Homo-oligomer: A and B are copies of this chain.
Amino acid sequence: MTSVEKIQNLITQFIESQDFMGVPSELYAPIDYTMRQKGKRMRPTLCLLSCEMFGGDINECLTPAVAAEIFHNFTLIHDDIMDEAPLRRGLETVYHKWNSNIALLSGDTMLIKAFQYALKTDKAYSQAILAELCKVALEVCEGQQHDLNFETRDDVTLDEYIEMIRLKTAVLLGSVLKIGAIVAGADDKNMKAVYDFGIDLGIAFQLQDDLFDCYGDVKVFGKMPGGDIADNKKTYLYLKALELASADDKKRLEGYFSMPKGRDEKKQQAVLDIFAKYNVREIVNGVMTDYYENSLKHLEKIDVPEEKKVVLRNYADYLYNRIK
């Protein structure tokens, strides 16, 4: 069986072998810039791990796996326009390094490139892969629109928040796992189980990201914690605190989240104090762990020999225990 490291090397080598440049260079340089950045490449990794677990040929799965990575990077480029974000992964965003028109158009180009890569597969399953990519791409857009809507809403529920991160983050993890299963020729029951595994893992992953944003160590995490608080982002932490807080604390919290966006030491400390008062960190950590454990239950249901599941389970465990 191939180790995670080998799979990640295979993905890195494949991406590095690709030529993302073209004419006019203004359109393609941002794509090359984005795709050369070293991220976790979690989506193609999950895709290949799933394919291998089901006994498929991971080399057959490389183009749709990389399609998902290109798609994910497209969403980041367009999200950064909407958020007017100057930095991502410690580097300038395309929006900031070039401009919003170039970020818009090179993002569009990446979305098309994602479909082009997904198409480079055997005719036997290219239609199924494309259908899955279309479905998940629409869902991710829906999630982003919910996220935008939340900014101006003051009645967001915890369930709505989970549904938003399911769409914005989790479905893509589910889909890449499913695509790996499609290439390997897995049956419908196994395909559903690995998809559900990805959904719960993805929700856990996003809740963990929210926790990192609030409590992450700047030395390890690479960025100052408190970004979501500064942006008045209605995360699970905030919504849970609102639910539990006394009328007075609720009013104070809502007041802080009505302030203009931007970092403010006093605000951040006050919000963290309210979170602490109601044990929000521990509660969200518990919810996150529940989702993670649920994801493993879906993995259990998959009908392949136990030893085939080891690498994927280890990778999920690595994500769960990651520190950034």
Interface residues of A (CB under 8 A from B): 22-24, 26-27, 78, 81-82, 101-102, 104-105, 107-109, 111-113, 115-116, 119, 123, 126-127, 130-131, 134-135, 137-138, 141-142, 144-146, 148-149
A261 CB to nearest B CB, Å: 15
A142 to B105 alpha-carbon distance, docked (Å) = 9
A244 CB to nearest B CB, Å: 27
A115 to B111 alpha-carbon distance, docked (Å) = 11
In this complex, which of A81, A105, A135 has the most chain B Cβ atoms within 10 angstroms of its Cβ?
A105
B141 touching A105 by the CB < 8 A rule? yes
List residues of chain B with CB within 8 A of the CB of A130: 115, 119, 126, 130
A316 CB to nearest B CB, Å: 28
A78 CB to nearest B CB, Å: 6
A109 touching B141 by the CB < 8 A rule? yes
Q: Which residue of B lies closest to A107 (CB)?
A: B108
Q: Which residue of B lies closest to A137 (CB)?
A: B112
Partner of A26, one of B104, B111, B149: B149
Q: Which residue of B lies closest to A112 (CB)?
A: B137
A293 CB to nearest B CB, Å: 30
A138 touching B119 by the CB < 8 A rule? no
Q: Which residue of B lies closest to A119 (CB)?
A: B130
Partner of A81, one of B104, B127, B142: B104
B115 touching A145 by the CB < 8 A rule? no
B108 touching A134 by the CB < 8 A rule? no
B134 touching A127 by the CB < 8 A rule? no
A4 to B293 alpha-carbon distance, docked (Å) = 60
Q: A119-B130, A127-B119 are in contact. Are A146 and B105 (CB under 8 A)?
A: no
List residues of chain B with CB within 8 A of the CB of A105: 78, 82, 141, 144-145, 148
A161 CB to nearest B CB, Å: 14
Partner of A134, one of B102, B116, B149: B116
The 4 A-B residue pairs with the shortest CB-CB distance, nearest first, are: A27-B145, A116-B134, A112-B137, A109-B141
A147 CB to nearest B CB, Å: 10
A148 CB to nearest B CB, Å: 6
A142 to B25 alpha-carbon distance, docked (Å) = 9
Q: A119-B131, A134-B116 are in contact. Are A78 and B108 (CB under 8 A)?
A: yes
A22 touching B142 by the CB < 8 A rule? yes
List residues of chain B with CB within 8 A of the CB of A82: 101, 104-105
List residues of chain B with CB within 8 A of the CB of A119: 127, 130-131, 134
A24 touching B145 by the CB < 8 A rule? yes
A125 CB to nearest B CB, Å: 11
